[in-house]
């Protein structure tokens, strides 16, 4: 039996286009399996609350069923109406199409409702055993069907969030193969976790597993593909490509009731490499799916904009990326030359718009009101907002997607200007801590000849950008470390607070100065109003600012004191 894993890159809401992608995968296999909600794209979010959207999805499924080869069995991830009764009105389903018709509807049992996931907002849990049989060459194969989270409630591996384990229940039946339709977003080293879980299940239940993951960027979420075939012994025997569409085919031996291929190596990829690929895909797909061909960004001569420019070039092509230098009287001469050198290395066009005249115009306009008030953060923010406004003017006039360049450390402590450098359609590195920004740039300079890279070989990020002290350059001789702790300390405190849910006391126990910890946590809480208005942030960590970070703004943060 030939099993196809259709690792497609759906656009949310693009029912026809997604159906076409599924059809393209319907080649020369007996069983084709898509990713979760492949027909409508994951995550459809509140589109699901529009009744007509659900109806249109049903029609698109019927059309797809008619067009598929009649002898092929296809499991399509889609939304279906739940039967009458209590609870939400939809199922997150794997629909089995055979001979032009719907033969089975299998509903997802376990609905994740944490981090970026809101599935209990839309869906009702399935309660039936999801099993069907295929007859090929006079042999009957029983297949158990699971959807994403259904695999993730094994109490040997995790704190169980749900009252039952669909895998264990299916494994009690005489099934020959377990399939899983997933939409599992990328996070750093997530693939290793996925493969451990699959291997655990395969060994524990003596079952081969087909795991199909979505690929592509959808707003803040990046899906990395990496679909897997795992044999009965818990060996990975095939893996689809990472960060790109793929059709992976496995040969299931009807006698042995297992995949016949030999084991391949476990997944291993340097963190820098997988983060780089994720961010490139995230930018490429956000631009493509929103209808942008070209991007613009401010080049400050600093490391953050250097990294974002490089990602944008890889994602969109060097002719599609425009860098804007906007020097002020506080910009060091090096900032300008560093930005220009970076642009030369990348081969992108730049333009320079000095902002001193605009600063003067604002000062004049505000002088009657500000009178003799001393300069403060107001004037610093004005510079940032002038730049943000100029970039948006270019975005409006030429139809460029504006990429914002702030990193996670800045966004966490509010070291960024709302309506200024935070402007943009997408916060490309808003989930990348500053220390990882450095690691990525060093890695880029070493690795620019790696196979999937379209960059000019040679150094990308000029050495001086990597070595100079980070600075916002909004007043004379300013550096980030005037007001922030060193980034290795800051990032470690932030990691434990944000990603690991540590409280103040637990962080202090790691050996940090209590006053410093207090100050950092206060900064995080006090800048919530800025993050609430930030653009979507490409998620690469366990907890990114964005849809998975839901903090109140108007709070008394006394609980940290």
Beta bridge partners of 224: 215
CB neighbourhood size of 158 (10 A): 10
CB neighbourhood size of 415 (10 A): 21
> Using an 8 Å Cβ cutoff, are 106 and 82 in contact?
no
Toward its own copies, which CB reaches closer, 122 or 132? 122
Closest approach, Cβ 105 to its own copies, in A, equals 21
Residues 185-244 that bind its own copies (CB under 8 A): 217-219
Which ranges in 34-133 belong to alpha helices (H)?
A: 51-67
Q: Point out the catalytic residue in the list 25, 40, 148, 441.
A: 148
Choose, by CB under 8 A, the member of 29, 39, 197, 382 that binds its own copies: 382
Number of residues engaging its own copies in binding (CB under 8 A) = 100
Toward its own copies, which CB reaches closer, 16 or 482? 16
> Using an 8 Å Cβ cutoff, are 325 and 351 in contact?
yes
DSSP string, 75-102: EEEEEEEPPSSSS-SEEEEEEEEETTEE
Choose, by CB under 8 A, the member of 334, 350, 389, 478 that binds its own copies: 389
Choose, by CB under 8 A, the member of 70, 87, 329, 486 that binds its own copies: 87
Choose, by CB under 8 A, the member of 98, 120, 273, 445 that binds its own copies: 120
Closest approach, Cβ 481 to its own copies, in A, equals 23
> Using an 8 Å Cβ cutoff, are 400 and 292 in contact?
yes
- Our CA angle for 535, 539, 543, nearest 5°, is 105
> Using an 8 Å Cβ cutoff, are 431 and 545 in contact?
yes
Q: Point out the catalytic residue in the list 108, 289, 408, 530.
A: 108
Choose, by CB under 8 A, the member of 99, 114, 139, 488 that binds its own copies: 114
Residues 335-354 that bind its own copies (CB under 8 A): 351, 353-354
Residue 25 annotated among the catalytic residues of the structure? no
Is 39 a binding residue for its own copies by CB under 8 A? The answer is no
Phi, psi of 141 (to 5 degrees): -115, 125
Is 508 a binding residue for its own copies by CB under 8 A? The answer is no
Stretch that binds its own copies, among 140-148, 332-340, 390-398, 512-520 (CB under 8 A): 390-398
107-122 CB burial, b ≥16 within 10 A, e <16: bbbbbbeebbbbbeeb
462-484 CB burial, b ≥16 within 10 A, e <16: beebeebebbbbbbeeeebeeeb
Choose, by CB under 8 A, the member of 76, 143, 394, 416 that binds its own copies: 394
Is 162 a binding residue for its own copies by CB under 8 A? The answer is yes
Choose, by CB under 8 A, the member of 501, 509, 513, 514 that binds its own copies: 501
Residue 235 annotated among the catalytic residues of the structure? no
DSSP string, 390-452: HHHHHHHHHTPEEEE---HHHHHHT-S-TTTTT-SSEETTTTS-HHHHHHHHHHHHHHTTSTT
Is 44 a binding residue for its own copies by CB under 8 A? The answer is yes
Which ranges in 146-270 belong to alpha helices (H)?
A: 166-171, 190-205
Closest approach, Cβ 242 to its own copies, in A, equals 21
Toward its own copies, which CB reaches closer, 48 or 143? 48
Distance CA 210, CA 193 (A): 16
Distance CA 37, CA 48 (A): 11
Choose, by CB under 8 A, the member of 69, 81, 160, 414 that binds its own copies: 160
Residue 36 annotated among the catalytic residues of the structure? yes
Stretch that binds its own copies, among 302-310, 360-368, 451-459, 478-486 (CB under 8 A): 360-368
Choose, by CB under 8 A, the member of 506, 510, 513, 514 that binds its own copies: 506
Toward its own copies, which CB reaches closer, 149 or 176? 149
Choose, by CB under 8 A, the member of 138, 262, 364, 457 that binds its own copies: 364
Stretch that binds its own copies, among 158-166, 227-235, 272-280, 299-307 (CB under 8 A): 158-166
Toward its own copies, which CB reaches closer, 364 or 467? 364
Residues 449-488 that bind its own copies (CB under 8 A): none
Q: Which residue's entry shows tokens 């002020």?
A: 328
Instruction: Map 342-381 to HEC letters.
Output: HHHHHCCEEEECCCHHHHHHHHHHHHHHHCCCCCCHHHHH
Is 542 a binding residue for its own copies by CB under 8 A? The answer is no
Give the active site residues: 36, 108, 148
């Amino acid at each position: 039996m030939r099993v196809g894993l259709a690792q497609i890159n759906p656009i949310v809401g693009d029912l026809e286009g997604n159906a076409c992608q599924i059809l393209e995968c319907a080649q020369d296999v007996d069983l084709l399996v898509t990713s979760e909600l492949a027909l409508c794209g994951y995550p459809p979010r509140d589109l699901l609350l529009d009744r007509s959207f659900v109806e249109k999805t049903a029609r698109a499924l019927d059309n797809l069923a008619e067009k598929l080869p009649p002898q092929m069995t296809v499991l399509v991830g889609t939304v279906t109406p739940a039967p009458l009764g209590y609870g939400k009105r939809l199922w997150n389903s794997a629909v089995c199409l055979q001979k032009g018709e719907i033969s089975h509807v299998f509903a997802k049992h376990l609905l994740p409702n944490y981090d970026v996931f809101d599935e209990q907002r839309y869906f009702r849990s399935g309660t039936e055993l999801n099993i069907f049989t295929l007859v090929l060459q006079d042999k009957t194969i029983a297949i158990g069907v699971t959807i994403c989270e259904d695999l993730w409630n094994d109490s040997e591996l995790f704190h169980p969030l749900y009252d039952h384990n669909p895998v264990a229940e299916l494994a009690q039946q005489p099934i020959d193969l377990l399939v899983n339709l997933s939409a599992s977003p990328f996070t750093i080293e997530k693939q290793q976790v996925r493969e451990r879980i699959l291997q655990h299940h395969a060994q524990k239940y003596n079952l081969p597993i087909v795991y199909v993951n979505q690929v592509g960027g959808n707003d803040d979420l990046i899906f990395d593909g990496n679909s897997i075939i795992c044999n009965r012994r818990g060996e990975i025997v095939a893996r689809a490509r990472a960060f790109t569409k793929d059709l992976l085919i496995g040969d299931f031996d009807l006698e042995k009731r297992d995949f016949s291929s030999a084991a391949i190596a476990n997944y291993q990829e340097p963190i820098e490499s997988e983060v780089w690929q994720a961010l490139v895909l995230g930018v490429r797909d956000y631009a493509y799916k929103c209808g942008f061909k070209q991007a613009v960004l401010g080049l400050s001569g600093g490391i953050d904009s250097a990294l974002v420019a490089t990602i944008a070039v890889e994602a969109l092509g060097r002719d599609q990326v425009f860098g804007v230098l906007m020097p002020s009287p506080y910009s060091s001469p090096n900032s300008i030359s560093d930005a220009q050198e970076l642009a030369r290395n990348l081969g992108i066009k730049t333009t320079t718009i000095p902002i001193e005249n605009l600063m003067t115009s604002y000062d004049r306009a505000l002088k009657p009101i500000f009178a003799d008030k001393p300069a403060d953060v107001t004037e610093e923010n004005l510079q940032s907002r002038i730049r943000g406004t100029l970039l948006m003017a270019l975005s409006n006039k030429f139809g460029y997607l504006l990429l914002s360049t702030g990193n996670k450390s800045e966004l966490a402590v509010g070291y960024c200007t709302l309506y200024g450098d935070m402007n943009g359609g997408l916060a490309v590195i808003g989930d990348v801590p500053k220390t990882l920004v450095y690691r990525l740039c060093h890695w880029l300079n070493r690795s620019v000849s790696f196979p999937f890279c379209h960059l000019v070989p040679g150094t990308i990020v000029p050495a001086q950008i990597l070595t100079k002290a980070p600075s916002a350059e909004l007043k004379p001789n300013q550096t980030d470390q005037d007001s922030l702790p060193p980034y290795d300390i800051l990032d470690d405190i932030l990691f434990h607070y944000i990603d690991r849910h540590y409280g103040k006391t637990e962080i202090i126990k790691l050996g940090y100065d209590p006053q410093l910890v207090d100050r950092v946590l206060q900064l995080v809480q006090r800048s919530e109003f800025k993050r609430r208005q930030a653009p979507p942030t490409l998620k690469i960590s366990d907890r990114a600012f964005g849809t998975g970070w839901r903090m109140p703004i108007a709070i008394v943060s006394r609980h940290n004191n």
